[in-house]
Amino acid sequence: MAGRREVLAGAVGGALWLAGCRSDGDGAAPSTGAASSTSGGQAAPVQKHRYGTDPSQFAELTLPEGGEAVPLAVIIHGGFWRAQYALSLGRPLAATLPTCGWAAWNVEYRRVGNGGGYPATLDDVAAAIDALADLDAPLDLSRVVTIGHSAGGHLAAWAATRDEPVVAVTGVVSQAGVLDLRQSAADRLGGGATQELLGGEPAAVGERYDEASPIEHLPLGVPILCVHGRDDSIVPISQSDAFVTAAVAAGDDAELAAVEGDHFVVIDPEHEAWTLVLDWLTSR
């Protein structure tokens, strides 16, 4: 049943590895570097693939051991869509996914300040996901979940709204995501980051807000998990709460997992917030 799920810090224990996930043998999470940890302590190689000619149009693919087709999680980093933040933010989470039987596709994209903004940032996310169809890799493209933090949560949810994509999104995980761009603009989140992304206020470029804001496209028609820290002072939890409420009312299978902590606990691979995401993924 779709709805709200409240989670207290510590309530789910410390077990990061769930339902098919495993640790390196000592219960610790794998290294948060660019490579994922697999059995025997070996690092799964990270493959860099380009989906365009711009320096920011690339993604990193990490696969589990074995050659069978596996589901894939598209990791989309945050940073209020600004160029000073990069896909290195997503590497710690991407590193855990092969251990759980999921491939990771950690996406870089043009941001505000290096050729991004509307529509380039949206176009890049779409192109990066559709590029999966051309990869020579054992991927089950009938199971593609987007996972994004903050501004990346916006892009992860937006990716599920595309008409006739080459590769369809079948689930969305938003980690402290900016899901209502009009409200974000009104609250001047990130010091006006939404206005920078879309090139103006809603009154001036309303059609861009209509296109880019996930809450305007409900129902998404795919399962949605929103994970958000109660003490988030950067993107208020009201963004996720209002989105889930509207999504459920529209008929979506959506839930909010509210956890103890700030804006960044949701991208800590050793925090309960990530355990919830792994649990949700293994149930897909």
pLDDT digits (tens, 9 = 90+) for 141-165: 999 999 999 999 999 999 999 999 9
CA Rg value for the chain: 17
Q: What is the CATH number of the domain that holds 203?
A: 3.40.50.1820
Look at residue 53 in the predicted model and tell me its pLDDT: 98
Query: What does DSSP assign to residue 58?
Result: E
Look at residue 3 in the predicted model and tell me its pLDDT: 52
* Assessment of whether the complete model's pTM goes beyond 0.95: no
Q: Tens digits of per-residue pLDDT, 217-262?
A: 999 999 999 999 999 999 999 999 999 999 999 999 999 999 999 9
| Number of independent structural domains in the chain | 1
Strands 103-107 and 58-62: antiparallel
Look at residue 274 in the predicted model and tell me its pLDDT: 98
Look at residue 283 in the predicted model and tell me its pLDDT: 86
pLDDT by 10-residue block (mean), the chain, 284 residues: 41 34 37 36 80 98 94 98 98 96 98 98 98 97 98 98 98 98 98 98 98 98 98 98 98 98 97 97 88
Tokens (6 digits) for 118: 């509307």
**First-to-last C-alpha distance (Å) of the chain:** 14
Rounded alpha-carbon distances, angstroms, from residue 36 to 30, 32, 224: 7, 8, 25
Structural domain range at position 93: 3-282
